[in-house]
Amino acid sequence: MAKVLITGGAGFIGSNLAHALVDENDITIVDNLSMGKKENIADIDVHFCEHDVCDTKFMHQLLSENNFDYIYYLAAVSSVADSVARPLETHRVNQESVIDILEYIRLKKLPIKRFLFTSSAAVYGNLPDFPKKETSHVQPLTPYAVDKYASERFTIDYGRLYGLPTVAVRFFNVYGPRQNPDSPYSGVLSIITKCMKNNQIFTLYGDGSQTRDFVYVGDVVRALIKVATDTNEPTVYNVADGGETPLIDVIHSYEDISGKRLKIEFKETRNGDITKSKADISKLRGIGFKPKWTLREGLKQYWAYNLTI
């Protein structure tokens, strides 16, 4: 049984990862519940520590008392808008806490098998390269993107310079069960789901023609486990579906699946919103990963889940 640490493990992606790993692994979760929820992990047997990853004293003690095999680093302030409003505070979470852990692992020579950092498609910014490859130019336009990019590079450099077993991924638009819809910058499908369920009006910024590479969280979890366990290089992988769908088309499919009509109010495009997004996932496919969930199947599963809660 491997010992696994998931920071941000009570959050959306982290809790789905914990559910997938719990039967065969001994799992510790660190989460300050800023976006995560205890209910997300209430039905699984994990060691839960309600702590901030910036509490370095606590984190060092946790690492020295447990010989973790795998560390999945998902803790972050995931709101881009929040990083623009509070750049220094979010920097501490999104970058300093990551370097602190890497440095502790290096200095104490902790015998981990893999440290996986989760970065974001935000690092690509608004450049025209399309679809986005891991080798495409980056243009981190916000403190969030700068911190994700820097932490990702630190993670890779700790592998290249000091031989730590590290790797990183860049998430595109992940959706599915347990995504928290409570911020205006939450994933759009979590907001749409909430609006559909409660017959609320959904504000669509723009005309709905903006495209995204939507990837179901079940596939994201499979990709995370594969990258952490089946690769060796300190490098970065796009984690996405590799498809590109206009937002309005997603809404229509979702209406079709749920049998509900979404009330839409159209507003001006959000400042800084990108018009097109799509990943090239050939690097991920190259390690044997294939997305299992079509957008339609993912939406069906997500809607079915929402009817149970």
Judged by beta carbon, residue 162 or residue 205, the one nearer ligand UD2 is: 205
Residue 225 DSSP SS3: helix
Among 253, 274, 276, 301, binds ligand UD2 (CB under 6 A): 274
In angstroms, the CA 46 to CA 90 distance is 27
Q: Which stretch binds ligand UD2 (CB under 6 A): 19-27, 203-211, 248-256, 281-289?
A: 203-211
At closest approach, how far in Å is the CB of 36 from ligand UD2? 15
Using CB under 6 A as the binding rule, whether residue 266 contacts ligand UD2 is answered as no
Q: Quick check: is 175 catalytic?
A: no
At closest approach, how far in Å is the CB of 55 from ligand UD2? 24
Judged by beta carbon, residue 44 or residue 264, the one nearer ligand UD2 is: 264
Q: How many residues comprise the chain?
A: 309
In angstroms, the CA 94 to CA 77 distance is 7
Among 127, 130, 185, 200, binds ligand UD2 (CB under 6 A): 185
Letter string b/e over residues 189-220, b meaning 16 or more CB atoms within 10 A of that residue's CB: bbbbbbbbeeeeebebbeebebbbbbbbbbbb
Among 191, 224, 281, 299, binds ligand UD2 (CB under 6 A): 191
Among 59, 247, 251, 262, binds ligand UD2 (CB under 6 A): 247
Instruction: State how far Cα 271 lies from the chain centre.
Output: 22
Using CB under 6 A as the binding rule, whether residue 29 contacts ligand UD2 is answered as no
Q: Are strands 236-239 and 211-212 parallel, antiparallel or unpaired?
A: unpaired
Are 5 and 11 within 8 A, CB to CB?
Answer: no
Q: Which stretch binds ligand UD2 (CB under 6 A): 55-63, 232-240, 270-278, 295-303?
A: 270-278
Using CB under 6 A as the binding rule, whether residue 264 contacts ligand UD2 is answered as no
Q: Which stretch binds ligand UD2 (CB under 6 A): 6-14, 110-118, 180-188, 229-237?
A: 180-188
CB atoms under 10 Å from CB of 285, counted, come to 13
In angstroms, the CA 297 to CA 13 distance is 18
Write out the catalytic residue numbers. Answer: 144
